Amino acid sequence: MTSLLTFLSISPCAHSQEADGTSASGAQIEAWQSFRTSHPFHLQVVALSRSGEDGSRTLIVSEPPPNVALDDVSRLSPCIASTETAKKRFGVDGWVKDIVMRLRPCRDEQIQELVIALHRTLFGTAYKAYTVPVNGVRETAPGTDLNLHVTSSQLNRWLIGGTRERPSSFSIAAISVLLAILFVYLWLARKLLRRSRPLSLTFLTLVFLMFFLAALPHRAKPSDPEVLRLRPVLGGNSVTLQTLLDSGAHGVYATAEPGLVVWCVGEDANLDKSSVEAREFAVDSDLILGAIGSAKKVAIVGRTRSTSIAWMPPLRTETILQLASANTGELEQSYERKFLWAGKTDQTGNGAEKIDWAPIYLSDQLLDTEYGSLLNITDQMLKSWSMHGLIRYVNFPYPDPATYPFRKPLNREANTNEVLFNWNTRGAGYVSQFSGFEVFSLNQLGSLPIDYLALDNANLRQAEDTAYGYYSQLSDPNLVRVVQYAGLYQIFTHFGIKATPGNHEHHAVSVLKEKTGQLIKAITEKKDSDPLFQGDDPVSASIRDAHGLLEKFSEEASPEQYDELIACIADPAAARSGAASSDKDTRTIAHLCQRVSSALQPVLSAEFRTVAGMLYENEANSRSGSIWIHTPSVVFSTAMGEVAGATGGHNLSAAVTDFKVDSSLRAGEVRVTTEDGHAVVYHSEADAEKIPETARLAGRDAEKDPEVLKREIQGMLKDQASDLRTLTDSLYPRGGRFAEGASMGFDPRQVPDGGDTPGWWSTKDAPDPERSRLVAAFSAGKAKQAKPVIIVSRVADHRYDIVGPAGLHMQADNLPAAVEAVRSTAEDTLGADSLHLHFQGVDEEEGRGFVRSTEAQMKDHEAVDASFEGSMSEEDIRALTAEYDLSKATVREVSAPHMVDGHAVIDASLEIPAKGWFGKPLLIRIRLFFSDMASAAALLPQQIGVLLHAVSEQADLFFALRRLEIDLQKAHPGIRKVDIHLVNSQRKDLYVVEDRRPSGLGPSGNRAA
């Protein structure tokens, strides 16, 4: 044996396992370490500490999205004194990086402004922005059960119902068509009557009657009254899901009472421009329940968030888009224990056990992603806990569970020497048909299904069911998160939802290729008579097997194929790729690669494996990838007692189980066929409520003979009852802390103690009726400009109330959040590239800063008009209506154009007499500001007089002034600003300002941002 391996003198390279740490100093180090102690696993969040003695703070951005660079956040605010990165290690060589900032002493408003800017940079929106405390306690399990079982029939009953909606077809066009048909009929009938052709007339009448009935408008057919109605999370009117899907709408909607959140993906079925909607949906929901769609119109259904934002963080936008762009039918993760150089090393763990090593395989789409890292974490949970904790992984700090799935290690439970452990998606997701809609649902949300495959014991179904129930009932956030992403992957693939793929370039690890080639060549060239082949020990037997395989291959293979075999043996990713290839020769080589690797593994010593593991790890880590997350490339583990290293991983298939209705089948009967390469189960209409309960069985045994699977499903159907649980019982089986009285989606109470919610959000409360009327009045006046009008009001506690068209109603905690809410409402919700802002309770200086900031965020940086209400309240103005007679308003003067402080202006005044005998008249002074003197001269005094006199036609002074401002602004494009000043006996006044090119500073002297 020594003579065979002398050439394998591998020089070990430097190998270091970098400790967690940061280049920051002092309080920042302590704060970050405290934060990561509380949150040891994946978390993408903004965390903020309390002020220190010197007024400084620590702000942490954990695991930023891959498109965000350090410079993008380090220059966001003058409050940032320093910006560093900190690295948290996962496994042997994986890590994530956090941004750690030291903040100078700043006002609370400035800190809030920074938090809003961070959310916009990280997520593209400050919608419901929040922070968690840096020094918080470690989150504990919530009181709610995350292992929900919501069936496709329930989703259909709650959101679609049994009646297909149909809008009314009555319209002017429809009536016109009927009249045209009638006219043509009468004209032809008259001709036939003149020619005395009764049979032709009868035939004509029948034909036209058919056309007439076909064109006859029909009344609207509403959906079932029990169907839940959905309201946009940004505010607006409630509608049914059928209406949304039929119109191809997009956006995020929620039920009026806490229950469901729905993300509608429009007809383009591409998520590239939907990252903001993805974030809104992820914040407002905590569990993916399923999806409902028809063709390319899809609604992804989630549960209204009822768990802590730190325990179940929002799904990441970048991971959602990554899954939509996967463009493959399967994603995989595994520990490559069968790799030639993998196995037991000469290193020991914490005890006396030797450390095993193996490469970690991840599909290219999963490398250096949150999901790829999550699959590693949950893979270790499956293997270690199934083996009663006898398998331990290096740097896997998950606390041991109170109990394990089995009373003893699985290999003893099943009486087998080796087990393949697999999480998979067979039976996880399924699709049912209802009234022309496809309804996707997940069987259980607590964990993916499990496969235990023993080489010498194929009967482990009971153990699989036991483990599936055990892991699902844990309600573990990482296990649940894996299911959420797997469900989205299946939804995207089934409904054809796409995104532009990122850079998934495969990183080949070739460092062991030369030594592998030397080993293969040495074994291939040995003669059968060599003493090395004559021994009776297992190693000699392995060498004989490998020699036989290689000798035959070398006689028939080309040099290119021989080199392909070496590369396959030296790189497990190449072996995986070859096994999945459509080329027959490539698959044959990959199969031989596996057989040769298995035969030669016993030949290598622990010393060789140790050095090979170091070489592999170092080269694998040289790949270029995300700057914030690096998935581990190798796994180190120890196995106590007679326990072999566990093999297996995750097989995430995009395929789902299909259930379809066949009207020819009776209750209890099914028919199983194979369509497009996978099983389809047909059932009767009567079993639509029961059939989802067979999803796990149908998916698990999909590869069985159709007749066998048919009998199994029919047998299971006999014991099933229709699931008639209510929505509350289904979504909140243990009550839930926020199930009652919660707002739509994310609720501030779901932020841990010490956190904050300085963002903006939609409120389910109806807007103030007067503000809604004001929006309508403005909109009517500006119809030709097609500019939406948004009312921005300063209310109690320095908050902002924002009201827009179609019932849009939002609130914001601070000015930056209000700016973001207005921008999002205009561009994302209303699809407008310009707008008009009307301010109430906001002084002109602050309002101009607001406008300037809004324009800076909009695509068109000169897109905002604005008007302001001054010191006089709306109620005060309305009170004047009772004192003065608007119908007798007269124009007192209209001045010639002149210059005032460098501005071209025209002054005018309007007098309204008092209703009483002794009251003094109300004087309205108007000053029009123009862009230049030529523009002022172009507006005739008579035109202004007519517009001023129109006030006398109004019954309400408040709306009369609103209308006057609108009409004056429309009268001439050169009008830059309109000031209206009311003077009565008490000298009260109102200012309304129309400013097309606002500039100026916010109230603090800083530009609002």
Is 50 exceeded by the pLDDT of residue 1? no
Is 70 exceeded by the pLDDT of residue 57? yes
Higher pLDDT, 872 or 363: 363
- Mean pLDDT for 568-594 is 85
Residue 251 φ then ψ, to 5°: 125, 180
Q: What is the C-alpha separation between 763 and 452, in angstroms, rounded?
A: 49
Is 60 exceeded by the pLDDT of residue 197? yes
What pLDDT score was predicted for residue 989? 42
Is 50 exceeded by the pLDDT of residue 609? yes
What pLDDT score was predicted for residue 164? 76
What pLDDT score was predicted for residue 873? 55
Q: What are the CA-CA distances from residue 890 to residues 41, 528, 813, 911, 971 (Å)?
A: 73, 119, 44, 5, 20
> What is the token pair recorded at 158?
């709650």
- Mean pLDDT for 936-952 is 80
> Are 375 and 333 in contact, with CB atoms under 8 Å apart?
yes
- Mean pLDDT for 446-468 is 82
What pLDDT score was predicted for residue 506? 64
What pLDDT score was predicted for residue 894? 87
What pLDDT score was predicted for residue 200? 81
Q: Which of 143-152, 532-541, 758-767 has the highest mean pLDDT?
A: 143-152
> Are 837 and 852 in contact, with CB atoms under 8 Å apart?
no
Is 50 exceeded by the pLDDT of residue 741? no
Q: How confident is the model at residue 103 (pLDDT cuts 50, 70, 90)?
A: very high
Nearest to 645 by CA among 403, 415, 400, 393: 393
Q: CB neighbours (10 Å) of residue 187?
A: 9
Q: How confident is the model at residue 169 (pLDDT cuts 50, 70, 90)?
A: low
Q: Summarize pLDDT for 810-866 with one digit per residue, the tens.
A: 888 888 889 888 888 887 777 777 788 888 888 777 887 888 888 888 776 667 877
> Are 986 and 939 in contact, with CB atoms under 8 Å apart?
no
Higher pLDDT, 188 or 339: 339
Is 70 exceeded by the pLDDT of residue 681? yes
Q: What is the C-alpha separation between 759 and 745, in angstroms, rounded?
A: 14
Q: Summarize pLDDT for 691-708 with one digit per residue, the tens.
A: 999 999 998 888 889 999
What pLDDT score was predicted for residue 642? 59
DSSP 941-952: HHHHHHHHHGGG
What pLDDT score was predicted for residue 292? 96
What pLDDT score was predicted for residue 872? 54
Is 50 exceeded by the pLDDT of residue 19? no
What pLDDT score was predicted for residue 362? 92
Nearest to 294 by CA among 156, 179, 408, 458: 156
Is 50 exceeded by the pLDDT of residue 1006? no
Q: Summarize pLDDT for 373-423 with one digit per residue, the tens.
A: 999 999 999 999 999 998 889 888 888 899 999 999 988 887 777 778 889
- Strands of 250-342 (E only): list them: 251-255, 260-265, 285-294, 297-304, 330-335
> Are 833 and 860 in contact, with CB atoms under 8 Å apart?
yes
Report, in this order, helix, strand and coil percent for the chain, each rounded to 5: 40, 20, 40
Q: CB under 8 Å to 821, separation ≥6 — which residues?
A: 126, 127, 760, 800, 802, 810, 812
Specify the range with the lowest mean pLDDT, choosing from 96-100, 643-647, 903-907, 971-975: 643-647
What SS3 state is found at 318?
helix
Q: Summarize pLDDT for 346-381 with one digit per residue, the tens.
A: 888 766 678 899 999 999 899 999 999 999 999 999
Is 70 exceeded by the pLDDT of residue 244? yes
Per-residue three-class SS string for 740-778: CCCCCCCCHHHCCCCCECCCEEECCCCCCHHHHHHHHHH
- Mean pLDDT for 987-1002 is 36
- Mean pLDDT for 156-181 is 78
- Mean pLDDT for 475-487 is 95
What pLDDT score was predicted for residue 743? 55
Q: What are the CA-CA distances from residue 676 to residues 487, 654, 656, 801 (Å)?
A: 21, 13, 12, 54
Is 50 exceeded by the pLDDT of residue 770? yes
Higher pLDDT, 182 or 286: 286
Q: What are the CA-CA distances from residue 613 to residues 310, 318, 355, 568, 632 (Å)?
A: 36, 32, 11, 17, 13
Is 70 exceeded by the pLDDT of residue 1008? no
What pLDDT score was predicted for residue 782? 42
Specify the range with the lowest mean pLDDT, choosing from 9-23, 123-137, 636-650: 9-23
Q: How confident is the model at residue 140 (pLDDT cuts 50, 70, 90)?
A: low
Is 70 exceeded by the pLDDT of residue 599? yes
- Mean pLDDT for 701-719 is 89
End-to-end alpha-carbon separation of the chain, Å?
73
Nearest to 746 by CA among 755, 736, 735, 738: 738
What pLDDT score was predicted for residue 991? 38
Is 50 exceeded by the pLDDT of residue 128? yes
Q: What is the C-alpha separation between 470 and 744, in angstroms, rounded?
A: 32
> What is the token pair recorded at 132?
């968690």
Is 90 exceeded by the pLDDT of residue 149? yes
> What is the token pair recorded at 846?
């602050």
Higher pLDDT, 141 or 546: 546
Is 90 exceeded by the pLDDT of residue 430? yes
Mean of the per-residue pLDDT values of the chain: 82
Q: What is the C-alpha separation between 490 and 323, in angstroms, rounded?
A: 9
Higher pLDDT, 383 or 460: 383
DSSP 141-196: --SS-------HHHHHHHHT-SS--B----SHHHHHHHHHHHHHHHHHHHHHHHTT
What pLDDT score was predicted for residue 246? 87
What pLDDT score was predicted for residue 458? 58
Specify the range with the lowest mean pLDDT, choosing from 33-37, 114-118, 923-927: 923-927
Specify the range with the lowest mean pLDDT, choosing from 521-525, 775-779, 938-942: 775-779
H or E segment and range at residue 340 = none
> Are 369 and 628 in contact, with CB atoms under 8 Å apart?
no
> Are 818 and 112 in contact, with CB atoms under 8 Å apart?
no
